[in-house]
Amino acid sequence: MAVLGVPELALVALVGVSGSGKSTFARRHFAPSQVLSSDAFRAMVADDENDQSASADAFDALHYVAGKRLRAGRLTVVDATNLQPHARAALVRVAREHDVLPVAIVLDVPEALAWARTEARADRTFGKQVLARMSRDLRRTYAQLAREGFRKVHVLRGVDEIDAAQIRFERLF
């Protein structure tokens, strides 16, 4: 069983394709108020959690709130795919600005499973090609993550590993 060490004050970036189980994982391991999700912020700024044209404003708002939380010493989890280097760089920047450690937790499930889950959801309407592109982005992410400034990169591969994972909060001092 994987025990993931996470500093008690950290900015935790979940990383994974749609359907990898990020929101489920966040619900299981963190309090709702600790989790900032890109869906919720799209809904806040554009009334539609799937409105990709609202992403820039949604992430501006998400980063702003993350900064406020980190300044107050509150652990913060970012529930978004975080598959693009610029998306992760923005999170590392916010963490550094507030002297908080950025940590990445990668959820990696077989693409067929992620697609089956996504296809079954009424609130996800994109096609298989979009998910295939996310999977390619995830493969690329592995080579990039190590040198992006994350203090720790935890990788959970497969449903069993994800289900069994525990988080151990580590005191900093």
Q: How far is CA 169 from CA 71, 110, 152, 154, 165, in A?
A: 19, 28, 13, 14, 13
23 touches Mg ion (CB under 5 A)? yes
Q: How far is CA 1 from CA 26, 120, 161, 163, in A?
A: 18, 29, 7, 9
124 touches ligand CTP (CB under 6 A)? yes
Angle CA 38–137–39, to nearest 5: 10
18 touches ligand CTP (CB under 6 A)? yes
Instruction: Report, in Å, the least distance between residue 45 CB and ligand CTP.
Output: 17
Nearer to ligand CTP, 71 or 121 (CB): 121
Q: How far is CA 96 from CA 7, 22, 150, in A?
A: 14, 23, 10
Which of Mg ion, ligand CTP, none binds 38 (CB below 5-8 Å, type-dependent)?
Answer: none
Given a contact cutoff of 8 angstroms between Cβ atoms, the answer to whether 15 and 109 are in contact is no
Instruction: Report, in Å, the least distance between residue 56 CB and Mg ion.
Output: 19
121 touches ligand CTP (CB under 6 A)? yes
Binding ligand CTP (rule: CB under 6 A), the pick from 6, 9, 13, 19 is 19
- The residue ranges that bind ligand CTP (CB under 6 A) are 16, 18-24, 81, 117, 121, 124, 159, 163
Binding site for Mg ion (CB under 5 A): 22-23
